[in-house]
């Protein structure tokens, strides 16, 4: 059975659903390039961890409403983006209802299984962002040790993986263990945001080392450049005890 695609609007925000109450994407109609949902903002927190002109390339697995893709294309125009989306009707909805930009030299879209794409291709990326779920909020093959290991192998020396762990209430810790194992403990899970989503980051290649003052300064600069405000993310990291000695090390 194919996935139902539903569109709703409320108070100036348009939402994407896959035949359930789960929100699969959102766009504030008057600001289509903003990241409306908190977890999508946190998936871009890699911009706090590497310095510009990073990232030069990004792989986005799971298109949804195209929020992350639009943000990257608008604010990081030199970044080459490869999107992999398994459902053609999601792509059609993103184009029709969510202002997804057309493909060009810096944006390519493949209709394919995200796990198979990573396993079958040998291109390397600075940033891999994984947000792929079915109508029941199940990640399937996108939450397996072989997939995470393949993602690690597809990352450049400056590479970061960002994974949305929404909807994995029973397998949440097992998901983190798989991710941590694939990246040899170079992983951090950000504290849950208001929506209940948890975004995890994993690194390959060059070490990431930032103290809280560095992260706060990076968040301020990012807000000035792009309007993306991650000050609350940094504050929750500071309050959570996630960073031993106040240092984020990946």
In the chain, domain spans: 6-207
User: Residue 158: is the preceding peptide bond cis (ω within 30°)?
Assistant: no
Catalytic residues: 131
pLDDT score of 148: 96
**pLDDT for the residue numbered 170:** 54
Whole-number Å distance between alpha carbons of 69 and 24: 14
User: Which fold would CATH assign to domain 6-207?
Assistant: Rossmann fold (3.40.50)
| CA dist., res. 206 & res. 106, Å (int) | 25
The list of the chain residues with pLDDT below 70 reads: 1-3, 133-139, 166-171, 194-196
Return the pLDDT at 134.
52
Please give the pLDDT value at position 141.
Answer: 86
Task: Look at residue 242 in the predicted model and tell me its pLDDT.
Answer: 83
- pTM of the predicted structure, to 2 decimals: 0.94
pLDDT at 244: 86
Cis omega before residue 35 (within 30°)? Answer: no
Backbone angles phi, psi at 24, to 5 degrees: -100, -10
């Amino acid at each position: 059975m194919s996935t139902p695609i539903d569109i709703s609007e409320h108070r100036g925000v348009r939402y994407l659903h896959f035949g359930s109450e789960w929100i699969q994407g959102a766009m504030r109609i008057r600001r289509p390039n903003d990241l409306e949902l908190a977890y999508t903002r946190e998936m871009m927190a890699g911009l706090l961890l590497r310095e510009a002109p990073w990232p030069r390339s990004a792989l986005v697995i799971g298109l949804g409403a195209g929020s992350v893709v639009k943000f990257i294309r608008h604010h990081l125009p030199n970044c080459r983006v490869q999107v992999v989306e398994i459902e053609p009707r999601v792509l059609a909805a993103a184009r029709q209802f969510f202002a997804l930009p057309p493909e060009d030299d810096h944006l390519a879209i493949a209709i394919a299984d995200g796990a198979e794409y990573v396993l079958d291709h040998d291109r390397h990326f600075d940033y891999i962002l994984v947000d792929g779920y079915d109508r029941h909020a199940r990640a399937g093959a996108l939450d397996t040790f072989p997939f995470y290991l393949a993602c690690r192998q597809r990352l450049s020396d400056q590479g970061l993986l960002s994974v949305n762990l929404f909807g994995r209430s029973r397998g949440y810790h097992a998901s983190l263990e798989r991710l941590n194992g694939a990246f040899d403990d170079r992983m951090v899970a950000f504290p849950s945001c208001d929506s209940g989503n948890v975004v995890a980051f994993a690194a390959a290649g060059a070490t990431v080392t930032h103290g809280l003052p560095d992260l706060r300064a990076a968040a301020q600069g990012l807000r000035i450049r792009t309007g993306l405000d991650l000050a609350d993310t940094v504050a929750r990291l500071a309050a959570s005890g996630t960073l031993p000695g106040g240092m984020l090390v990946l």
